[in-house]
Chains A and B, each alone.
Chain A
Amino acid sequence: MDVVVSQIFTGLSTGSIMLLAATGLVLTFGQMGVINMAHGEFIMAGSYTAYVVQQATASAGASLLISLVLGFLVGGAMGVIIEITLLRHLYHRPLDTLLVTFGVGLVLQQVARDVFGAPAVNVRTPSWLSGSVEVLGAVVPRTRLFILVLALVCLAALAAALQYTALGRRTRAVMQSRDLAESSGISSRRVDLTTFFIGSGLAGVAGVALTLIGSTSSTVGQSYLINAFLVVVAGGLGQLRGALIAAFVLGLLQSFLEYSTTASVAQVLVFVVIVVFLQFRPQGLFSLKTRSLV
């Protein structure tokens, strides 16, 4: 019984990490159709932001909070720069965006290696996050609990922003029909830029959070990227609730499979499950209804 509970928590934790990494992608990939392979490097930028901030701050707790804000801004700024210089020329060639942003990712990784060195660095955990708590008889590290909460908060904040702010309404309008939105006076350029800023900023936040559970190297983002993309694909393009469900289902699945097999076999099986799932729902869990002909 305890085993089940602890596997559930492991799964929720894995899921929340996937969710955190994927939330930004729901916006940029799901809603704008940009396959941004540099998203992983935005995550990495968030992690290194946390590292740099901690060098300058005495208290690990304060540094974490500052980093969360700064990481968001750093990720967002990087996203906006790439959007302006590269992506806006490529909106009609989504597959090419993938390769171009992969190139960006390669460069950013190398920059990180040249600046911070190849060995991984570590960020100290604030005292109020060290240790674990007992939930239903399972021992759960506080950091993992924090990430779970942070992922849900980010998702909820994003959902609320999309639902209730004027900007969110404009964003949704552009996502559903770019032409229609433009003809009713919405500047899709502005919306694109803002969406990209928020989506990339969330990657930065994810990067900061990930320093709590692992060390930071130039490839830290890349290792989370595939799973993040799979979450968006399985959840349905641009669907926050889809991403939420997909992330936790995949996380739980992985956790239980890992328990009964090995980590690498679990990863492979999760992939197989997704392919089979797409057999039944090629559009993912939820899908936007659009009228597309040829």
Chain B
Amino acid sequence: MSTTTPAAPARRWPAVPGPLRTGAGFALAAVVLFAVAPAVLSDFRLGLLGKFLCFAIVAAGIGLAWGRGGMLTLGQGLFFGMGAYVMAMHLKLADAQVRGDAVPDFMSIAGVRDVPGWWQPFASPVVTLLVVLLAPGAVAVLLGLMVFKRRVKGAYFAILSQALAAALATWVVGQQMLGGSNGLNRFRTFFGFDLSDPANRRLLFFIAAGTLLVVVAVVRQLMRSRYGELLVAVRDQEERVRFLGYDPANVKVVAYTVAATFAGIAGALFVPLVGIISPSDVGIVPSISFLIGVAIGGRDTLLGPVLGAIGIAWAESSLSESFPSAWVYAQGALFIVVVGFLPGGLASLGGVLRRRGRPAERVPHEEPDEPASVRTTEPEKEPVA
């Protein structure tokens, strides 16, 4: 371990790519997502990739809040679930309307005649979109203020946020009007577009891809900004920041809220792309699983979380079907090995290998300037005594 910072591994604070590399990166990502992927992938695979992109959107937010802000957001399933269920309710209502039914199909099977009052606002697409965009953030602001202002942090925060996701999952299971443990599924249209039409499904994929690019751009700006520097300062020495005149709670709330908003948006995109949302997508296990890709990719880098999330989701979907048990072992092993022994994720692997051959980082050789006070020849005055 480094002798300088016991709290953080001895590695350089990863810089955010500059404008040129960023421009090139975005162009490349756009080509891959909008031209290459639809050309080479089957409709089914494209839909799968779309689902991974949703996880990547969640991961980008976690990278900001956890990697840069030090808040272990173990409960992102809560916000993901909020966005997802709100969207799912709207889609169910819209489907019922298209078919001319009074209530969504699963309700009429259960013998329900009228749409419950709390469902009704979500018949409106505008309300739905507003709630998807604003509600997770609003809940995060409220919760963040309550928790961070009282200096609940570290493990306490992690456990509380995890309990929150567990609470949502438990609550949903008990809600027959949300499909209970089966969840909500079988969506036919998406804002008027027929979801069985491959062209529309492709459009949906493009929306997810575009959203991911926007999300990455937002995170990049936040990381590069003064706020991003302050966030790292709060992560490393929260109490110290207070004595410089900042309230660290506000700093943390911003990152937490951004991460929550991203998770909500991802949830809302997940629903039409995947076609189902159930309590098992929002509880403790999926919430922690969001973190593994982030940890593998490099939690405090810009692209690490995004690429890590996509990679892990891809590995899971290709392995878990044929070797379900092996996949669980692999997932467990990844948590143990990456978090335990490579906390910087794969992004730090290059650095770790490079450092092997070289002496530790040192102050540049030139002598530091003397304090100016020594150079200016002050008239030497005896202290009055």
Contacts and interface: CB of A to CB of B under 8 A. Distances in A.
| A–B proximity contact (CB within 8 A) | yes
Interface of A: 29, 33, 35, 86, 89-90, 92-96, 98-100, 102-107, 109-110, 113-114, 222, 226, 229-230, 233, 262-265, 267-268, 271, 274-275, 278-279, 282, 293-294
A262 B171 CA distance: 9
Interface of B: 1, 6-7, 70, 72, 74, 143, 146-147, 150-152, 154-156, 158-160, 162-164, 166-168, 170-175, 237, 239-240, 284, 288, 291-292, 295, 325, 328-329, 331-336, 339-341, 343
B336 A100 contact: yes
A283 B301 CA distance: 33
A99 B328 CA distance: 15
A95 B340 contact: no
A95 B72 contact: yes
A86 B6 contact: no
B284 A226 contact: yes
A102 B333 CA distance: 10
A267 B170 contact: yes
Contact of B147 (A262, A264, A275, A294): A275
B328 A35 contact: no
A94 B152 CA distance: 15
Contact of B328 (A33, A110, A263, A264): A110
Contacts of A233: 156, 159-160
Contact of B331 (A86, A106, A282): A106
Where chain B touches its partner, the secondary structure class is helix
Nearest to A29: B155
B295 A106 contact: no
B167 A268 contact: yes
8 contacts: A86-B336, A93-B343, A100-B335, A102-B288, A107-B333, A222-B284, A264-B173, A275-B160
Contacts of B334: 103
Contacts of A267: 166-167, 170-171
B325 A110 contact: yes
Contacts of A92: 1, 6-7
Given A98-B72, A265-B174, A294-B237, A109 B328 contact: yes
B69 to A, nearest CB: 12
A238 B163 CA distance: 20
B332 A106 contact: yes
Contacts of B335: 99-100, 102-104, 106
A188 to B, nearest CB: 16
Nearest to B173: A264
Given A33-B155, A89-B340, A226-B159, 18 more contacts: A35-B155, A93-B7, A93-B343, A94-B154, A95-B155, A98-B72, A98-B74, A100-B336, A103-B333, A110-B332, A264-B175, A275-B143, A278-B156, A278-B160, A279-B146, A279-B150, A294-B237, A294-B239
Contacts of A268: 167-168, 170-171
Contacts of A274: 160, 163
A114 B323 CA distance: 12
Contacts of A230: 159, 163
Given A35-B159, A92-B7, A104-B336, A99 B291 contact: yes
Given A103-B335, A267-B167, A275-B147, A114 B325 contact: yes
Contacts of A35: 155, 158-159
Output the residue of A33, A102, A109, A262 with the most chain B CB within 10 A.
A102
Nearest to A99: B339
Contacts of A33: 155
Nearest to B241: A294
Output the residue of A98, A265, A294 with the most chain B CB within 10 A.
A98
Nearest to A98: B158
Contacts of B152: 278, 282
A87 B128 CA distance: 45
B234 to A, nearest CB: 12
B336 A95 contact: no
Contact of B170 (A98, A102, A264, A294): A264
A275 B146 contact: yes
B321 to A, nearest CB: 16
A92 B5 CA distance: 10
Output the residue of B143, B150, B168, B332 with the most chain A CB within 10 A.
B332
A107 B150 contact: no
A98 B339 CA distance: 10
A257 to B, nearest CB: 13
Nearest to B165: A226
Contact of B329 (A93, A95, A110, A271): A110
B41 to A, nearest CB: 30
A13 to B, nearest CB: 19
Contacts of B239: 293-294
Contacts of A262: 174
Nearest to A90: B340
Nearest to B169: A264
Nearest to A229: B159
A214 B348 CA distance: 46
A93 B235 CA distance: 13
B197 to A, nearest CB: 38
B142 to A, nearest CB: 10
A59 to B, nearest CB: 35
Nearest to B164: A271
B9 to A, nearest CB: 9
B171 A107 contact: no
B209 to A, nearest CB: 29
Given A35-B159, A233-B160, A99 B332 contact: no
A197 to B, nearest CB: 21
Given A86-B336, A106-B331, A278-B152, A264 B174 contact: yes
Contacts of A264: 170-175
